[in-house]
Every structure is written in structure tokens, then in C-alpha cells.
Amino acid sequence: MKLSVIICCYNEVATIQDVIQKTQAVDLGPGWDREIIVVDNYSTDGTRDILQKIDHPEIQIIYHKRNMGKGMSIRTGITRMTGSYFFIQDADNEYDPFEQRKFTDLAAKTNAPAIFGSRVLGGEIKSKYKRTLMGNRFVTWLHNILFNDHLTDVATASKMVRADVAHSLNLTCTGFDLDFEMPDKIAMSGHKIIEIPINYDPRTYAEGKKIGLKDAIKAVQTMLRDRLGFSPALKAAEVAELQSGKVAG
């Protein structure tokens, strides 16, 4: 089996190299190969200077020509993946790359369509801000109500999805809202998402945290859109870039 680790980054000069090195150091277990797909979402802080110095056969680096959103970075990674599963690894060190082994062990045993890392299982979700904690509880509750699901942490970034499932979802979101579109459509397609407990070391906005209130509002809008069956047309330019591979510059 092969794991495609998709690392999305935007202005992560302080952590990107560390996250890549940790990802390379992970022992995924017997029978697993790996590729690392780094998608830089038009960083301007020196992140690209670091990435341009990386030359390793296991690593593919893609540079967006403009800031297209985290969701678009994930979708770019999915179009380039050759693995039997993809795994989303954030570039900010909030999520520990070494926990990828938990996911590959479970996937090897179950061939699960999707495995999500829950920051809630085994204890309370960590958060620097009460509003973030309450927001996560609300969007998780709403997802479960709308899609008859039983998740504990729908907003988690640690998501592992089988390739055939991923390619069938017709993902359209371009921002953090894709983190919600993905479980929505997995649930609607009849697949079960398995959750496993993970560690989480949240950072503050001063330290570079990017998600905010507007993203929570878009998450709710996305869930309502998915449940009501409204599927907006993709922007023509986005479709052309994804299909042609012309996202790098």
C-alpha cells in the first residue's frame, strides 16, 4: 500500500522544514510506501525559499501561482496523488506527523474508506480560545444532525481517505470549508468514517493560527448546501488549472 501525504502550507517558514523532516522519519509500518506532496499556497514569508532547496525523490513540491485557499491545495494534492490513501498533514506542527502510523496500521487492518483523527476522543479538545472550542462542538453537532453521523471532531485537520473514495467525492470548496465538505460527502455516499484519538498542540493567532469566525460561518453554509443538495458550479479558471496541472509557477 502507498500513502500520499499532502502537506498544505502558506507562510509557514518557521515550521515547514521540521514538519517535512518529521514526516519523512515516520515508520508507516510493513507493506507501506510513501510519497510527500507539498502544496505551497503562494507563501511570501520565505517558505518558498526553503522548499526550493529540497531535492528528494520522495517529495513533490507544487507552487500555486496565487493564494487559492487550503481546500484548493488539498484538491491539488489529490489530483497528483498516486497512493492508495491520502493523508492531510498540516504544516504548522499543531498535529504530530508521527501519529500517521496510527492511521496506516488501522487502514492496513480494515481497508477503511476514511479515518479521521479526533482531538476529543480520550479527553477534552485542547484550545487556546473558548470560542474555538464552542465552535467545534457546534459544527460537529450540526454535521451529525444533518448527515446522521456520529463524529466527535468534524473540524479535525487529520483526515485519511482511500483514493477511490476521494476521487468520487466531487469536492468543490477551496478554503477551510473543504474540511466540512469532505465528511459531508463521505457520509452521503454511504461510507463510514472511523475516528481515532490524536494529540493536538494548538497555537495562537499571534503564532500564526489562520482559521477564524468567517471560516466557521462558511462551514455551516457548506453543510447546509451539501444537505440541501445545492452544488455550485466550479469556477472555470479553477477547473482549468486543476485539469491541466497549471497550478505551479
3-state secondary structure of 140: helix
CATH class as words, domain 2-244: alpha beta
Phi, psi of 17 (to 5 degrees): -65, -40
Phi, psi of 62 (to 5 degrees): -120, 135
Helix, strand, coil shares of the chain, percent, nearest 5, are 40, 15, 45
HSE value, Cβ hemisphere, 13 Å, CA-based, for 167: 10
Binned at pLDDT 50, 70 and 90, residue 249 comes out as very low
Order the strands of the 114-118 sheet from edge to edge: 59-63, 33-40, 2-9, 85-90, 159-162, 114-118, 193-197
The answer, yes or no, to whether residue 186 has pLDDT greater than 50, is: yes
Cβ-contact 7, 36 below 8 angstroms: yes
Q: Which secondary structure element, helix H or strand E, spans residue 25, and what is its range?
A: helix 16-25
- pTM > 0.85: yes
CA distances from 235 to 91, 100, 142, 239, 241 (A): 27, 33, 28, 6, 10
Lowest mean pLDDT among 15-29, 132-146, 191-205, 220-234: 220-234
Task: For the chain, give the mean pLDDT.
Answer: 89
Binned at pLDDT 50, 70 and 90, residue 216 comes out as confident
Residue 202 C-alpha cell reads as 494548538
Long-range contacts of 185-191 (CB under 8 A, 24+ apart): 185/226, 186/113, 186/114, 186/161, 187/143, 187/147, 187/148, 187/149, 188/147, 188/226, 189/165, 191/113, 191/114, 191/165
